[in-house]
Each structure stands twice: as C-alpha cells, then as structure tokens.
Chains A and B, each alone.
Chain A
C-alpha cells in the first residue's frame, strides 16, 4: 500500500517509521532540514528508536517538500501536523490539518485521510459535513515524547474513529506494523475517538495534580511526602506509577488537552475538569512562594525541558515558575544545553555548568539528574523518586 504522512514531528515521524516497515511511505513537511535529515537516514527529533530505525536503512521511507509528490499516488494519508491550543479562542488551531486536506483533495480526491493530530471533540464530524467529504477518519495517538516510535511499536491499544471496513483496514495497518501480538483494537464512532484522547490525557493530568497536591500538603505540614506516596501506591487500585511530584504537568499534550476538554464541556456541569486545569497553576504559585521564601540572590534554572530525554520545552512546567519568579523580580540564569541562544525570554543563559553552579545560590530543577549531585545542598526540587 502507498502511504503519505503529513508532518515530521513526533507523531508524524514515528508513524512514518512504523508504517514504512511494511509499506511505501512518503513523508512530507514544510521544513527542509527535517526532510533532508529523513532522506539522509537521520532522525530530526530526539527519539532513540527513530534514530535507530532510520539509520538501519531497512525502512521504505522517503521524505519530500512537494505535496503533489507526496499525495498524488497515496492510498492513505496520515495527518500529523501540529494543533496548538489557542488560549484566546479556547480551541486547538486546526488550520494546518485543513491545509493538508485541501492539498490532498486537490490532487487525489479518493485518498483516505487519517487524522493523528489531537483535535477538539466533534471536529471530524463537523469537518466532514463542512467539506462534504467522507474520506476523513480520526485515530488518536497515545505516544510519549522521546519514546514515540517505541510506543507505536508497542501500543497499549489502537483506536480508530469509524466502525467500518475501512476503519478496520486503518487499524490493521497500525496493528500489523506493531511488534506485539494481541494489541487491543477499538473501532468507535469518530466523536468518541476524539473524546478518548482528551479524557485519557486529562486523567493523567488529574493524577499528576493529585500527587502534586499531596506533596503541597506534605510540604505545608512537614510530612514525609515520600512515605505517604509509597504507602498510598502500595494499594493496587492506586498503582505504583506516574506518582512522582513535579513542578506541574507539562509537555505538549497534557496542558493543552486538559484545557481543550474543559472548553468542550462548555455548559455541561462539571467541577473536576476545571479543578485539573486550575490545580496546575496553583501548584506553580505555591512552589514559587517556597522558592522566594529562601530569599535567593540568583536562582539557577536547571533545564527547560519537561523531562529527561525530551528535546524541547513546549509548555514545560518550569517555565511557569520562571515567569512568576521574573514577576517577583528574582534574578535568574538558565542552564539548558539544547539551547543555542545567549538568552531565553530575556534571561541570561549560562552554558558552562560549573560557572552556572557557582553563580547560583539556589538551583531549581523539575527533575534531578546526576550532574547535580555535587551541588545537592543548593538544589530545590520536588523530584522524590528520580523517575519521570
């Protein structure tokens, strides 16, 4: 089968790599560097499995900048372009998806289009009606940044938002390319598939917030948060995972998906959905107070990335703390090896780790890494388990 994949971010690249194990895949992006990298067998994103599979040379994958080249002969087009949350309109910006759909239909009206990007609940149905086009299906992705291809090769489940033969065909493409046998497959209606994505991520945001609020309470009452969490998580109904306190939930998905879901509730009575969104802001405010209470002269910000292994700092929780400290007039310096610039949002970047440590009298780190061992007494973190 001939497959096109639009977008070479985490989602697009990992799906392109996955499907090109068995099919001819042409990936398309608007960034020449990404296209060149893929064609040279290099991964344009930080992802161990993507790097390995692309370098291995066994994939039937090529990349292009030309829509005509990518779409004209494709049987199926996977759409994995970014949909950022717009806080003014309270909705994801879906314009990049619609641009791809227009381009596909211009050269190949029969192609089946599968949206992998995260979209608002009800979007696919509305779009089909508006464009008078039935060839659009939604299939949510459930992958983690930095482990995107791994999670596609070992999926927890495959969900396709159409109960039909072609829905089953799309699910089969994804399932057959996975390495695990017996991956659960769910064909649902399209709006339900959209809701699955947002409700799954918002549940995880709730879990992160729950453990962060537990930690906030423990800080306020001088309880040993680690003991409480370890005790609580012995209960199999709570589970011993995803329970490490942090500066807040962050990354590309959880903040925007929980906000989008809250916006989708609109007039439906709810309390928890709003609390999950508010909890993340309150957490950052609490921690900012705890940091300023120590009256630091210079705060060193150790890493802007959300967690180890990630190569970008979209919506990382520490940025919310930086903003608050900045408003409070606290001097800061940034240490972030993946940053090329000399400053970040007007704050000086210190590239030399030793000088960074010397210049900071308090170092804030969302996650502890071994390089901080020598300056442990300067570090402010809520990372209790040294895990993500």
Chain B
C-alpha cells in the first residue's frame, strides 16, 4: 500500500519507519535537513535506536518537502502535527494541523486520513463536519517519548476512532506493521478515541503524582519511602511499575492532557482530574523547603539532557529556590563543564541518579529511590 505520513517528529517518523517494512511510505514536512537525512539513509534526530533500525532494514521509505507530491497516489494518510497549547486557557492551537488535514482531504478525496496527534476532544468530529468528510478519523498513538520506535513496532493495543468499515481498514494497516501478530484493536467513536488518549496521560500523571505525595509525606515525617512503596505496590491492583518518586511529572504531553481535561470540562464537578493538572506546585513547595532546610551554599541543577522548557519540574524547583535567595548553577549536558559543576556545588539536585554522579553521591539531593547501586 502507498502511505503518506505528514510530519517529521518522533511519532511521524516512528510510524513511517515501522510501516515502511511492509508498505511504500513517503514522509513529508517542511524541514529540509530532516528530509535530506532520511533520503541519505540517516535518522534526522539524535536517537541511536532509530538510526540503527534505518541502517539494518530494507525499507521502502523516502522523504520529500513537497507535501502535494507525497500525497499523490496515497491510499492512506497519517498526520502528526506538533500542537502548541495556550498555557492560560489550556486550549490547543490546531491551525497547522487543520491546514494539513484540508490539504490531504483535497488531494486524496475518499482516502482515509488518520490523525495521530493528541487532539482536543471533539476535534475530529468538527473536522468531519467542516469538510463534510467521513474519511477523516483519529487513531491516537500511545508511544512513549523515549521509545517511540519500539512502541510503533510493538504496540500493546490499537485504538481507532471509527466504529465502521473505515476504522477496521485503518486498524488492519496499523496492525500490519506490528512485529507481533494479534495486536488487540478497539474501534470506538471519534470523541471517545480522543479522550482515551487524554485519560491515559492523566491516569499516569495521577499515579506519578500519588507516589510523589507519598514521598513528600515520608520526607516530611522521616519515614522510609521505599518501604512504603514496596509494601503498597505488592497489591496486584496497584502494581510495581511507574512508582519511583521524582520532583514532579514533566515532558510535554502529560501536562497538556491534564490541562486539557481540566479546561475542557471546567463546569463538570471533578476533583482528582483538575488536581492532577496542578499537582506539581505542592510537590515543588515541599521539596524547596526540604532543600533550603539543608542550607546549601551553591545548588546545582543537574539536567543532563538539557533544558526542555518551563514545564520541567526540576527547572521549576530551581527557579523556586532562586526566588528564595539560593545560589543556583545549572548543568545542561555539556561534558566539558561537568567536573567544574560537580566541584562548584555543595548540593546537586537530580531527577535521576546517573552513573556520572557516583563520585559525588553524598552531595546529590534526589528522590530516585530505585537507582541502581
């Protein structure tokens, strides 16, 4: 099958790489160096797994800047688009995604156009109505940010937001790229499929937030948080995964979904969901008081992957400490600065304890209770 993938981010590229084992895939987007890299057999983003996969497999994959050309003859279109969100209102900016969908619909009438992005609830039905097109549907992806290709090749389940034959066709194509046969598929309404994505993010956020509040309690009361976590997670209904405390949940997607659920249903009486959206604040307040109580002279903020934006809870903690008068020094992954950073700080805040912190372990303030060693 001829498949067009619109988008050049992790989701689009992981979809394209997985599908190109079985189908003719053209991936398109407005970023010349990424297009060039793919056509040269290189992966355009820093990720060794994806780079290795590209080299190891005989894929039918090419990239182009010309979206119209990519769409020519396509029998299926997948669209991923970065969605920005107004932080105050929680509303998504979908203008770019809408124009991509319109273009695909005009170029390929009747061909299934599959939205992979985490769009706001009700978006797909609005697009269907606006363009009078039943062929637009939503199939949210559930890839983890750091393991997108693994998850594209080995999806645990597939959700397609169309209860009819079109949905079944799309599901069959997505299933065809899975390495394991028999991936479970659930067809459902478009709004339902959109909301599964957001509720999934919100559930994991609630879980992270819960273990963080447990840890805050243990920290404040001098309890061994690891003992408590081990004890509760042996309940099979709770489970022994995603239970390691951190400074707060971060990344782009989780805060977006929780904020979206919060604003989209502002008039529906709910408590757990809105609270999860703002949960990092209480956690950071507690952690800041714990850090300040140790009276550090210079506090190091250890972000080996580099700063990701204002939603990173460690950055937020650093800012909070700064506003309380602490002296802050940040490490953003430049190896040449690491030794000076370690020597120049008497306390180092780290979300996770990495091997390169082993020699200054006593200086590290972390809530990583499951760190190796």
Contacts and interface: CB of A to CB of B under 8 A. Distances in A.
A184 to B, nearest CB: 5
Nearest to A122: B221
A270 B217 contact: yes
Contact of B189 (A224, A232, A279): A224
Given A210-B203, A272-B275, A234 B157 contact: yes
Interface stretch (B112-120, B233-241, B328-336, B361-369): B233-241
B231 interface: yes
Contacts of B199: 214, 228, 232
A231 B188 contact: yes
Interface stretch (B64-72, B204-212, B318-326): B204-212
B230 interface: yes
A157 interface: yes
A282 B279 CA distance: 19
Contacts of A272: 206, 209-210, 213, 272, 275-276, 279
Interface in A115-154: 121-122, 140, 142
B210 A241 contact: no
A221 B265 contact: yes
B272 A213 contact: yes
B273 A200 contact: no
Contact of A186 (B191, B193, B203, B231): B231
B206 A282 contact: no
Interface in B51-100: none
Given A184-B234, A214-B199, A235-B156, A192 B189 contact: no
Given A237-B204, A268-B216, A272-B206, A192 B278 contact: no
Interface string A282-322: 10011000000000000000000000000000000000000
Contacts of B232: 196, 199-200, 203
A263 interface: no
Contact of A200 (B203, B213, B220, B231): B231
B265 A270 contact: no
Contacts of B274: 275
B282 interface: yes
Interface residues of A, number: 63
B308 interface: no
Interface size for chain B: under 10, 10 to 19, 20 to 34, or 35 or more residues?
35 or more
A170 to B, nearest CB: 15
A66 interface: no
Contacts of A203: 210, 232, 235, 238
A191 to B, nearest CB: 6
Contacts of A28: none
B354 interface: no
B346 interface: no
A271 interface: yes
Nearest to A242: B237
Interface in B11-64: none
B150 interface: no
A231 B138 CA distance: 14
A232 B196 contact: yes
Interface string A233-253: 011111101100000000000
A199 B270 CA distance: 21
A272 to B, nearest CB: 5
B159 A213 contact: no
Nearest to A220: B268
Contact of B206 (A121, A159, A206): A206
Nearest to A234: B157
A238 B203 contact: yes
B237 A186 contact: no
B192 A196 contact: no
A218 B184 CA distance: 24
Contacts of B227: 186, 188-189, 192, 196
Nearest to A185: B234
A195 interface: yes
Given A191-B223, A200-B232, A268-B217, A231 B196 contact: yes
B186 A230 contact: yes
A374 interface: no
A217 B282 CA distance: 26
A209 interface: yes
Interface in B238-288: 238-239, 241-242, 261, 265, 267-276, 278-279, 281-283, 285-286
A39 B193 CA distance: 57
Given A157-B234, A186-B231, A278-B271, A228 B214 contact: no
A216 interface: yes
Contact of B239 (A192, A239, A269, A273): A239
B358 interface: no
B228 interface: yes
Contacts of A204: 235, 237-238
Contacts of B213: 270-273
Point out which of B121, B220, B234 has the most chain A C-beta atoms below 10 A from its C-beta.
Answer: B234
A269 B206 contact: no
A270 B204 CA distance: 18
A347 B186 CA distance: 45
Nearest to A280: B271
Given A206-B206, A275-B275, A231 B269 contact: no
Contacts of B238: 200, 203-204
B156 A223 contact: no
Contact of A213 (B210, B220, B270): B270
A271 B278 contact: yes
Contacts of B286: 268-269
Contacts of B206: 206, 210, 272
A64 B214 CA distance: 41
B327 interface: no
A235 B157 contact: yes
A252 to B, nearest CB: 17
B223 A270 contact: no
A331 to B, nearest CB: 25
B302 interface: no
Contacts of B10: none
B192 A223 contact: yes
A132 B273 CA distance: 45
Given A192-B224, A200-B232, 16 more contacts: A159-B231, A188-B227, A210-B202, A210-B206, A213-B271, A217-B268, A223-B189, A228-B196, A231-B192, A234-B159, A235-B156, A235-B200, A237-B203, A268-B217, A269-B283, A271-B281
17 contacts: A156-B234, A186-B230, A196-B232, A210-B273, A217-B265, A217-B268, A227-B186, A228-B199, A234-B159, A237-B204, A239-B239, A241-B237, A268-B286, A272-B275, A272-B276, A275-B274, A286-B268
Interface of A: 121-122, 140, 142, 156-157, 159, 184, 186, 188-189, 191-193, 195-196, 199-200, 203-204, 206-207, 209-210, 213-214, 216-218, 220-221, 223-224, 227-228, 230-232, 234-239, 241-242, 264-265, 267-276, 278-279, 282, 285-286
